[in-house]
Amino acid sequence: MAIEGLSINLATTRGSWGFAEAVDGCLTRGITAISPWRDQIAAIGLEEAARIVRLNGLRLTGLCRGGMFPAADAAGRQAAIDDNRRAIDEAAELGADCLVFVVGGLPAGSRDIAVARQMVEDGFQAILPHARASKVPLAIEPLHPMYAADRACVNTLKQALDLAGRLGPDVGVAIDVYHVWWDPDLAEGIARAGRENRIFAHHICDWLVPTRDLLLDRGMMGDGVIDLPGIRRMIEAAGFHGPQEVEIFSAGNWWKKPGAVVLDTVIERFRTVC
């Protein structure tokens, strides 16, 4: 029986499964929506990955990821733009709902976050014509402020929406609870994103207390402190009813478990917690 409303970001099963194994595990359990990472696609080959997607009627709730625009010199910035154009091509070939962006942090040697943010906007402007021609929506994912220096200098939903507003209607946001749950303006931001039709994806996991690794210690839903049902209610009230995409980076726990155990736990928590 198909499980409606659930998507698996394939980072969640990265510890034990590649793309094909993860797809098989999902299909066996009635999950027909996934979100792969570009390195997982590269490992099996874009043509083969696209064949598997089409053969099984899979929905890709996103492709991870584009971004990483800031660089210390013009050559580095151009290399990022070129790579993002390739990411758009991959998303188009796979029929992804959107290409998810982790925009990048400070260039090497820089302390100027305003300049980094301008590099991000300039990078988006450079790839937008290609994205529009390819009919690939772009989803900016604001990351928790702890990542501002090295991963993403766009850190709040408001920042992401302001940027998307300057870029155009085919740019929206991916709302990942891990990154935004703490924001005192979250309800206002979600409502605004709904009014502007910019919610392209909804990612879920949990925030553990204590968190032992700020990147690789995300929790399974229900094991932490995030009000997942409350955030989902806000997102649905804003007009987004797409799948909840489970994305868990967990080097010390879930990546050490068999993929089948991980997926079975995801399904149980999706039904009882989310």
The CATH class, in words, for 60-258 is: alpha beta
Residue 1 has pLDDT above 80, yes or no: no
Residue 196 has pLDDT above 80, yes or no: yes
Give the per-residue pLDDT at 2.
82
In the chain, where are the structural domains located?
60-258
Helix (H, G, I), strand (E, B) or coil at 7: strand
Contacts of 58 (CB under 8 A, 6+ apart): 23, 32, 33, 34, 52
| Dihedral angle of Cα 173, 177, 182, 185, to the nearest 10 degrees | 40
Give the per-residue pLDDT at 170.
96
Place of tokens 């489970």: 246
pLDDT in tens, 125-154: 999 999 999 999 999 999 999 999 999 999
Sign, CA torsion 117/149/196/86: positive
pLDDT in tens, 93-120: 999 999 999 999 999 999 999 999 999 9
CA distances from 113 to 11, 52, 83, 123, 183 (A): 28, 41, 22, 15, 20
Please work out, in degrees rounded to the nearest 5, the angle formed at the alpha carbon of residue 92 by the alpha carbons of 11 and 122.
Answer: 85
For the whole model, what pTM was predicted? Answer: 0.98
pLDDT in tens, 50-91: 999 999 999 999 999 999 999 999 999 999 999 999 999 999
Give the per-residue pLDDT at 104.
98
pLDDT in tens, 3-43: 999 999 999 999 999 999 999 999 999 999 999 999 999 99
H helices of the chain, where?
19-28, 38-44, 46-55, 74-94, 113-134, 157-167, 177-180, 186-195, 228-237, 259-272
Contact yes or no for 234/133 (Cβ under 8 A): no
Length of the chain: 274
Helix (H, G, I), strand (E, B) or coil at 119: helix
Contact yes or no for 65/38 (Cβ under 8 A): yes
pLDDT in tens, 211-228: 999 999 999 999 999 999
% the chain with pLDDT above 90: 99
